[in-house]
Amino acid sequence: MYIHFIVGARPNFVKISSLIHAIKNYNQEKTVNFKLIHTGQHYDYNMNTIFFKELGIPQPDYFLNCGGGSQTTQISKIMLEYEKVLNVDLPQYCVVVGDVNSTVACAIVAKNFKIKVVHIEAGIRSGDTTMPEEVNRILTDSITDLFFTTTLKASNLLRNIGVESSKIHFVGNTMIDTLLRFKNDFRNPFENTERTSITEDKFLVLTLHRPSNVDNLQWLKSCLLEILDSTKNVNILFPVHPRTRKNLELTGIKSDRLILLEPLGYFEFNFLVGNSIGVITDSGGITEEATVLKIPCITLRNSTERPETVTTGTNVLIGSNLTLLRKYLAKILNNNWKESDIPQYWDGKTGDRIINILLEDVHEKK
């Protein structure tokens, strides 16, 4: 079996790490071969180096260098560059994960080359087509050959839109594989620094990156002021993307409790999440990690493609409702959060299930 694994953004690395680890466990007879295609959709040399080193991912076999530009521009660049790869290097399977531009771009090109498209995290939907990620999910699923889902709800959605049941496999969550495998390696980013005492007291973790939250300066200012006003003496640890940092400066908000951090590695960030009293975010992936780590999570979105984190897990959706934000922050501070559980098959074995199913598919073709 010969696979191309596509990565383009930080969450992709976390998910692909699970599959690479599963192959290493299985591969005594060298029956599974793969190459890693890094599109460069999101690329920072230091952060990429940290992620590859921490997660045990080999250096990419191809780096397409397709960062920057609008969604249309980026997808176009990735398609053109991946086509060049496939002109000289044809796999049996193109494995794409999640919902980023790299996912849909490489799926389209692979399909044109008659390569089987495998979608990890297939069938998830937020119902909000104003989000580029939702469009990417729909388009990718429309041309996928093998669908691997994180929940039964995602599997049922695919059946309802006409996908044959034999192509759908409910396997669980590769992101959780990686979280559980490296949990004991998480490390305090402030250890051996002058800020070493920051994590000794209660703190919240804040992440914001979606345009609806960071580009509207009035909303951003109101949201941050509400968080500060509702959290008494609790520190807010906020790893900030450079673009978001510029907008934060424009709000004029300054507080000793709002602690702005540079982007963190996987081990450092998840140490903070796992040791916090709660998370405020607009990221889907963080809601999954918070659910497994049993950390209260408030999501500043009206919808989520991961509803199991709300119905089963620790997450609540509040949109832009500041009254709800105040209410749920009070619940966190008073240790009065809802009961939660971990979704089925989020058990650390998803990568193994996927590789075994792909091997069965290869044998069936023979």
> Which residues carry out catalysis?
209
Distance CA 234, CA 199 (A): 11
Q: What is the CA radius of gyration of the chain?
A: 20
Are the C-beta atoms of residues 128 and 302 closer than 8 Å to each other?
yes
- Tell me how far the alpha carbon of residue 236 is from its chain's centroid: 22
Residue with tokens 């939907």: 125
Tell me which amino acid residue 263 is: P
Distance CA 273, CA 202 (A): 12
Sign of CA pseudo-dihedral 186, 190, 191, 196:
negative
What is the SS3 string spanning 63-115?
ECCCCCCCHHHHHHHHHHHHHHHHCCCCCCEEEEECCCHHHHHHHHHHHHCCC
Distances, alpha carbon 241 to alpha carbons 124, 253, 261, 355, 357, in Å: 26, 17, 9, 34, 38
Helix (H) or strand (E) holding 358: helix 350-365
